[in-house]
Chains A and B, each alone.
Chain A
Amino acid sequence: MLQFDNVSKSFGGVNAVDQCTFTIPSASITGLIGPNGAGKTTAFNIIAGHLFADTGRIVFDGQDVTRLPAWRRQHMGLSRTFQLPHEFSRMSVLDNLIVAAENRDGEHILNAIFRPGRGRTREQEARAMATRTLEFLEIGSLRDELAGNISGGQKKLLELGRALMQRPKLILLDEIGAGVNRTLLGKIADKILELNASEGYTFCLIEHDLDYVSRLCSQVNVMVQGRLLTTGTVADVRNDERVIDVYFGGGKYQEHA
């Protein structure tokens, strides 16, 4: 589904991503893990098109998208959520989802002024789909709330819903679990598994909680200092000395005397 091919990106003197290569297989749930500062979020931003790679290539669904802006990649079926909530705070929860649908006719300014009927059918479809999506995510009761007023965990669900509105092929989830309570976290995991199994969505997620990753992901890529350290199943990488080393700062757990 996606190849992240020998990509580098530096900010000033810092090589945030450094000749890093990995893949996200179709219909998989792939994890991207690594210690803080490993370059995971930078990698996500490069995949989504919010940052451009200095060198290397991004191939999505068979096409080279390295130089395409984010909004064009989204039209090709690449969606994302953000580590820190990026809701449209002064719009209702429902409108946050409706706006994420594609409505090329209605969004043309001349149609908006002279032919307001254009795009109305599409808007109604979007409204229906947004309502269904909110119900699926069990936040239907919040539909008329201002998105800025809902809780952090609910904003994560909102962003997941927003990412689903254009039926993407690949969804990038950047720490969807951060700041979310245990119950909600379990619910989000169920939804991700359900979407993957029944609708065939591909997911790639950044996550720190290895138990959570092992519950969801068939494969994980481990990044350290901008490079890919290793790839494998969660069980594989958990027992990898190098992974333990970077996560726990050298050596295996040692019993204190």
Chain B
Amino acid sequence: MNAEGIAFYLVSFLTMGGIYAVLCIALNMQWGFGGLFNAGIAGFYAVGAYTAAILTSATAPTHVGGFDLPILSGLLGAGVMAGVTAWGIARVCVRLKADYLAMASIGFAEIIRLVVINEQWLTNGSLGISRIPRPLEDIFSGRQAEVVYVVFVWLVVLLTYFVSQRLSRSPWGLVMRAIRDNDIAADSIGKDVQRFRVDAFVVGSVFMGMAGALSAHYFKFFSPDATEPLLVTFLCWVMLIAGGSGNNRGAIAGALLVWAIWSMTEIITSHLPVEWASRSAYLRMLLIGLFLQFVLQRYRQGLFPERG
């Protein structure tokens, strides 16, 4: 591979890495600060991606819309829809203790998946939505467009990081950490635990929805395959735990590191003989597991602990 090829590999790596970074910081707002075990990340990601796809794609005869709206409105709409969905779920589920919340959120993500596959009028079913635009498409094309997009993605990463840092340093963030450490004591010092948990669940989900929108615009096509929990929820959790939950920089570092392992091993496994290549996904998953083991054995709180 020549130098230019490597540079563009890096661009595509950073694009996906950036999308995972947004997801990871969003999960950190829920789990790292608030102790909310959201195992339905893929659901909010899907809500965001489909909202952006329907809002911004060209009009299609097979499903609702598209409405051909500007990209920013797709991004915003994705955040709003994911946030509203999260609010509805949180009203019902946030009272649940961590492990039950996890189960409820997995259930929710599966419901979204089934809706997405079966409600063809809305999502075009398993065929997916195509002709989703990218920003500044008519000015830049080919590899230039890739570079423009990676910048766009990282602007959103920065925004997410900025919001999350503000939250974690605010009195709101302090209360959230108190609730995470001991919700009964938080109740006893006059904090409306329920309200704070709904806040955290909604704000994290808004950014998960935006991450979904980013990936829809990146691939210009979005189908139910992209909401595979293994690829979204599971990887995202590994990223946050390895990077260091409670620490936003850790969330970004974890996202890039795990994505590096995941995507770069694909280069190797694609050279394997056919009978091995077909099993490569499992091998790579095993590798991610080993990596997580290694990190947690050596750095119990992840690479970037909450407090240095």
Contacts and interface: CB of A to CB of B under 8 A. Distances in A.
Contacts of A70: 187-188
Interface stretch (A10-18, A85-93, A195-203, A219-227): A85-93
A122 B170 CA distance: 12
A48 interface: yes
Interface of A: 48-50, 69-71, 74-75, 79-80, 82, 86-91, 95-96, 98-100, 102-103, 106-109, 111-113, 116, 119, 122-123, 146, 162-163, 165-166
25 contacts: A49-B187, A69-B192, A71-B187, A71-B191, A74-B188, A79-B188, A79-B189, A80-B188, A86-B188, A87-B185, A88-B178, A90-B177, A90-B181, A90-B307, A91-B174, A99-B174, A106-B172, A107-B172, A107-B196, A109-B167, A111-B172, A112-B167, A112-B171, A113-B167, A122-B171
A90 B189 contact: no
Contact of A88 (B166, B182, B306, B307): B182
B119 to A, nearest CB: 32
Nearest to B169: A116
B172 A109 contact: yes
- Among B172, B190, B203, B246, chain A packs the most CB atoms within 10 A around the CB of B190
Chain B's interface size range is 20 to 34
B166 A74 contact: no
A106 B167 contact: no
B155 interface: no
Interface of B: 163, 166-167, 169-175, 177-178, 180-182, 184-193, 196, 199, 203, 246, 306-307
A50 B189 contact: no
Contact of B174 (A79, A95, A109): A95
A88 to B, nearest CB: 4
Contacts of A87: 181-182, 185
Contacts of B306: 90
B192 A71 contact: yes
Given A89-B181, A91-B181, A98-B174, A109 B187 contact: no
A95 B185 CA distance: 14
- Among A70, A82, A106, chain B packs the most CB atoms within 10 A around the CB of A70
- Among B169, B171, B196, chain A packs the most CB atoms within 10 A around the CB of B171
B190 A86 contact: no
A89 B166 CA distance: 22
A116 B166 contact: yes
